[in-house]
Structure 1
Amino acid sequence: MEITFDVAVLLFFVALLAGVIDAIAGGGGLITIPALLAAGLPPGAAIATNKVGGVAAATAATLHFLRMRQIDLKRSRWMMLGAFLGSLAGGIALTRIDSGVLRQVIPFLLIGFALYFLLSPRVGSEDRAQRIAPALYAAAVAPLIGFYDGFFGPGTGTFLAISCVTLLGFNLVKATAHAKLLNLCSNSAALVFFALHGNIAWAFGLPILAGQWIGGTIGARLAVTRGHKLIRVLMVLMALIVSVKMLLE
């Protein structure tokens, strides 16, 4: 499909906003996918093309978090591999299994997480003792959430951040930073899968890529400077918005 200049500019600014929100709390696809659908892409192509922007936002945010020393790459390398392989398996499973069950269950999980953060204001304010070893997280949790991202997707960033807080004992800023790193890996696997199957509309993906790259950088800076309070508010808000949208559908 061809894209007009006006549509490209609109997609860029929509993606910029989505990138800011996604870097802080996840859920940027709630903004970009409807925009791609409104631009005329069919649902499958819109979801696939959205991964282009998702990778851009996650890359930009991850690079900033690395510069701010919020990510331990040596500690995370096996988690990254687990998220990538899990997402690749999820993408393959998507072609063979109906995702309807997840669509019914996930909203209630997200609402539960939102209530947990609302009722536990100290959670994520500082580092705490980890509940599981990083090796176990890399072997079980990262592949599981990665699989979910490749298979279904909504709320992946929230699941990753919450798992880093509750299981690895990270504060919310560090958890958000590692969530973007792992989300980059899972998004990259999904992008590879969609690219090989020819589902991506690159003409629409490029303005999304540019906008989300800039937005991801801005969002990561806000997350570091404003800290866990901003992340908590946006994470709860986005978890509720994703839940409501899925329930209405």
Structure 2
Amino acid sequence: MQGSIGTATATYMMIKSSKISWSGIKSLMLPAFIGAAIGTIAVQFINTDILSFIIPVVLLFIAVYFLISPSLTQNNEEPKLSSRKYKYGVIPLIGYYDGMFGPGTGSFFTLSGIACRGQDLLTSTAMAKPLNFSTNIASLIIFLLAGHVAWIVGILMMIGQIIGAWIGSHCLFKINPTYLRGVVVLMCSGMLIKYAHSMGWIDFI
């Protein structure tokens, strides 16, 4: 719920400022939506205890990749994957991941744009916003139908998402890509530490 409003705000800002083209992104949003819907349905039938082990691995992977990958600071390269394979293979797979697990989905969309389509970091980050919105709204619809939405917490978090998305969208194309990757590494590391503490794996006292 909170993710949907945050990515919706960011998407609106990206399109309004002409950082992304609606005609260029809309065809990718449906595969992302479908993948997330399937993933959200699937998570209703699995033992969610496994998420406690998968989530920290995912966060660690994203942090390490953004920290050491040299391609993130390079300019646009030749696409390594056709637009069709990217659209019908990679995008739904990431959408499925978001529907089932979630953390780091925006970063995965960003990484896929760089690794598969040869986009630069800033462009890929901007295009990740509407794709992430599609996956978030798909999951929200399924969770609403299943009655699994925490309304009070969700509404409070939506306020923070709107503020953060508005500020972040204004800063995205003004920030040095090196600093952007540093922010991603810092946030993933912080989330990993917070998650490990909440699970009782580490103790600060």
TM, length-normalised to structure 1: 0.71
Please tell me whether the aligned partners of residues 104 and 247 of structure 1 are also in contact (alpha carbons under 8 angstroms).
Answer: no
Task: Please report the RMSD computed on the Cα atoms of aligned residues, expressed in angstroms.
Answer: 2.2
Show the 5 A alignment for 1:154-169: 154-169=103-118
Matched, 1:183 2:112: no
**Deviation of the 1:204 alpha carbon:** 3.9
**Long gaps (5+) in structure 1:** 1-50
**Deviation of the 1:140 alpha carbon:** 1.0
Please tell me whether the aligned partners of residues 7 and 133 of structure 2 are also in contact (alpha carbons under 8 angstroms).
Answer: yes
Please tell me whether the aligned partners of residues 79 and 138 of structure 1 are also in contact (alpha carbons under 8 angstroms).
Answer: yes
**Deviation of the 1:202 alpha carbon:** 3.2
Matched, 1:114 2:37: no
Show the 5 A alignment for 1:36-185: 51=1, 53-101=2-50, 103-121=52-70, 123-185=72-134
Please tell me whether the aligned partners of residues 173 and 227 of structure 1 are also in contact (alpha carbons under 8 angstroms).
Answer: no
Cα separation, 1, equivalents of 2:41 and 2:29:
19
Matched, 1:200 2:200: no
**Deviation of the 1:121 alpha carbon:** 4.5
Identity %: 34
Match of 1:215 among 156, 161, 164: 164
Match of 2:185 among 228, 236, 242: 236
Cα separation, 2, equivalents of 1:242 and 1:168:
28
> 3-state SS of the aligned residue for 1:153?
coil
Q: Assess, with a 3 A threshold, how the Cα gap between structure 1 residues 247 and 129 changes in structure 2: closer, same or farther.
A: farther
Q: Which deviations, in whole Å up to 9, do the C-alpha atoms of 1:44-64 show, x marking residues without a partner? A: xxxxxxx2x211110111111
Please tell me whether the aligned partners of residues 60 and 189 of structure 2 are also in contact (alpha carbons under 8 angstroms).
Answer: yes
**Long gaps (5+) in structure 2:** 200-205
Cα separation, 2, equivalents of 1:98 and 1:203:
26
> 3-state SS of the aligned residue for 2:175?
helix
